[in-house]
Amino acid sequence: MNHLSIAALILLGGQSSRMGQDKAFVCYEGKPLLQRVDQAARACSEKVYIVTPWPERYATLLTEDYEVLLERKPNQGPLVALSQGLLEIPFEWILLLACDLPRLQPAIIQRWQSCLTNVSERVLAVVPQYQSRWEPLCGFYRRSAYSQLQEFITLGGRSFQRWFTHIPVKPIELSEAESQMLLNCNQPTDLKP
């Protein structure tokens, strides 16, 4: 089996306005959301990166080794943050993760990941899809997608759903149970287990 070059990139640049506080610190079943996502990221990658305009804010939550990408264009959304990651992270694949996914199961992500070695070179993203809707904030992105993504952003694109109509994407078909794993927490009512 070929060695898979993969890093995780955790997004920590949102305003958390619907939650009313920084989502990274919100606890789900006794543990902050960021620590839950970080734990899954470590189980599924060689190195963990965070992209944020406020790196010092998260130092108390992240105790293990990680690397910071200082977000160069804050408040531009996750697609722009991914673009920075594709440019600066020297791994073939990036596992992009939102910080508000408390139900991630490393075994499922590792199963998806094991298929990456068989993906055609022309495929630039491998992303979960449920009922024809992409779930881009728990997806795999090839470093070579950078130029196409940058071109899309330059033309004003900010939507993953729209970007995926311009590039070769391989869907990961989700079962109902797997789709529940990708529940993201946007407001306090989403935190109920």
CATH class for the domain made up of 6-191 = alpha beta
Q: Give residue 1's pLDDT.
A: 36
Q: What is the pLDDT of residue 186?
A: 61
For the chain, the structural domain boundaries read: 6-191
- The sign of the CA dihedral 180, 11, 50, 48 is positive
What is the torsional sign of CA 180, 81, 49, 171? Answer: positive
Tokens representing residue 117 in the block: 């070695």
Profile the chain (193 residues) by mean pLDDT over runs of 10 residues: 83 66 87 95 97 93 92 93 98 96 94 94 96 94 98 97 97 90 70 58
pLDDT at residue number 64? 85
Helix locations, 26-101, DSSP H: 33-43, 78-88
> Which pLDDT does position 19 carry in this prediction?
52
pTM of the model: 0.93
Q: Tell me what pLDDT residue 189 has.
A: 56
